[in-house]
């Protein structure tokens, strides 16, 4: 029986395992919920891999999970996360359900189904030596406590395979933009808005000047976006604001652009006399360039052909993942190997059930292919 058919026989258990993870909510900033989810993931992994994970505690109370299979050095890193953007209680409005071949539930495609696919792929391969499975719990926050762990786990590997959801149509993600995050804070001087506004220095007006300046740093021709997002200012309706702040999201295709924008952001200067500008933050994730994924994408295409599966498409996407980190240290990286579906972070988040066995087979076939060192 070929690999795709063997994975098809696993479909009922695949669905049961995905349900087990989805119904255990795991918002990134809820430590108690994350702890419960960590235990569920660890138990599920132990059932499939025959061993408990290494638990890597962080100084802020999180715990990341790592399985290192075999005694030798790792050649393949499987990379995922179980934290989600969904707040606790989302199951009441977005319950787990499978209807007409579509699986729904908070975090199902981003990326709990991907974790289950990886576990079944490894189990089907007989828990192969030379593989590390790393599952973190702060990716949705930008991986503040797990970045170093991701990079050290990827160092020296022949491949980092990222279990984030597939792109549209099941395409693999062969490029990701780099991400920078900033907070621009303007400082002025408070005054009564009705009695003597002239004595104040309006931080909101200064922030408006800065927003216009920073948005001008975008370069559509180079794929660079600079987007003001969450903003706040002032303390009351009748007070000239003394402080104002805006978060800024930057996405770039190459490190030269990331450096250019970073220098310009930190070079912002005040416009209003008496005001001050403070810029916090900087690059968060380096770009995942097409050159980092080209050889692995070719290998995945060859594996799909051998399995009788359609050739996977490729996609360049704006969102970041931990694959940006692995590519950034020079490890060949292929992303988007997780579930086929859509609606990540949105009300219509979903997984296409019929695609699960083929996806699990592709992951398993690609792992075996890299471990064997076969040419693509």
Q: State the catalytic residues.
A: 83, 139
What lies within 8 Å, CB to CB, of 198 at 6+ separation is 191
Q: In what order do the strands lie in the sheet with 178-187?
A: 225-233, 243-252, 178-187, 276-285
Distances (CA, A) of 357 to 9, 42, 237, 301, 348: 8, 23, 58, 17, 22
- Which H or E run contains 68? strand 63-69
Cα gap 323→330, rounded to integer Å = 11
Tell how strand 191-192 and strand 239-240 pair up: antiparallel
Rounded Cα gap, residues 192 and 299, in angstroms: 67
CA geometry: angle at 222 spanning 217 and 227, to 5°? 40
User: Rounded to an integer, what distance in angstroms lies between the CA atom of residue 187 and that of residue 129?
Assistant: 56
Q: What is the arrangement of strands in the sheet containing 97-99, beginning at the earlier edge strand?
A: 97-99, 102-104, 350-352, 341-342
Q: Enter the tokens of residue 258.
A: 């990331």
User: Which parts of 236-366 are beta strand (E)?
Assistant: 239-240, 243-252, 276-285, 314-317, 333-334, 341-342, 350-352
CA gap 61, 30 in Å, rounded: 11
DSSP, residue by residue, 146-207: THHHHHHHHTT-SEEEE-SPP-GGG-EEEEE-EEEEEEEEEE-B-EETTT-GGGSB-HHHHH
Helix 31-49 / helix 11-22 crossing angle, nearest 10 deg: 160
Q: What distance in Å separates the CA atoms of residue 286 and residue 147, rounded to the nearest whole number?
A: 12
Residues 6+ apart with CB under 8 A from 221: none
Tokens standing for residue 110: 């981003």
């Amino acid at each position: 029986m070929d690999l795709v058919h063997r994975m098809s026989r696993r479909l009922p258990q695949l669905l049961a395992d995905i349900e087990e993870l989805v119904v255990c909510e795991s918002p990134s900033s809820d430590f108690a919920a994350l702890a419960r989810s960590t235990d569920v993931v660890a138990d599920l992994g132990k059932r499939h891999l025959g061993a408990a994970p290494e638990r890597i505690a962080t100084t802020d109370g999180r715990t990341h999970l790592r399985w290192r299979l075999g005694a030798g050095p790792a050649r393949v890193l499987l990379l995922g996360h179980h934290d989600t953007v969904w707040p606790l209680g989302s199951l009441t409005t977005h319950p787990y359900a499978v209807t007409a071949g579509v699986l729904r539930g908070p975090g199902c495609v981003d990326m709990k189904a991907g974790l289950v696919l990886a576990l079944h792929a490894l189990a089907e391969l007989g828990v192969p030596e030379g593989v590390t499975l790393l599952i973190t719990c702060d990716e949705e926050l930008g991986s503040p406590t797990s970045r170093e762990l991701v990079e050290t786990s990827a160092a020296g590997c022949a491949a980092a395979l990222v279990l984030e959801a597939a792109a549209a149509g099941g395409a693999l993600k062969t490029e990701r933009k780099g991400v920078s995050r900033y907070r621009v804070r303007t400082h002025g001087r408070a005054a009564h808005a009705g009695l003597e506004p002239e004595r104040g220095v309006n931080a909101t007006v200064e922030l408006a000047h800065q927003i216009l300046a920073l948005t001008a740093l975008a370069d559509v021709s180079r794929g660079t976006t600079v987007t003001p997002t969450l903003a706040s200012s002032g303390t009351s309706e009748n007070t000239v604001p003394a402080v104002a702040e805006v978060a800024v999201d930057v996405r770039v295709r190459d490190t030269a652009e990331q450096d250019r924008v970073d220098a310009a952001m930190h070079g912002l200067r005040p416009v209003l006399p008496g005001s001050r500008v403070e810029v916090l933050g900087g690059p968060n994730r380096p770009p995942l360039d097409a050159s980092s994924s080209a050889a692995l994408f070719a290998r995945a295409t060859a594996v799909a052909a051998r399995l009788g599966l359609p050739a996977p498409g490729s996609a360049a996407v704006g969102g970041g993942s931990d694959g940006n980190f692995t590519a950034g240290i020079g490890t060949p990286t292929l992303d988007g190997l997780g579930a086929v579906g859509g609606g990540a972070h949105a009300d219509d988040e979903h997984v296409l059930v019929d695609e699960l066995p083929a996806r699990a087979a592709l992951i398993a076939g690609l792992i075996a292919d890299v471990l064997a060192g076969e040419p693509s």
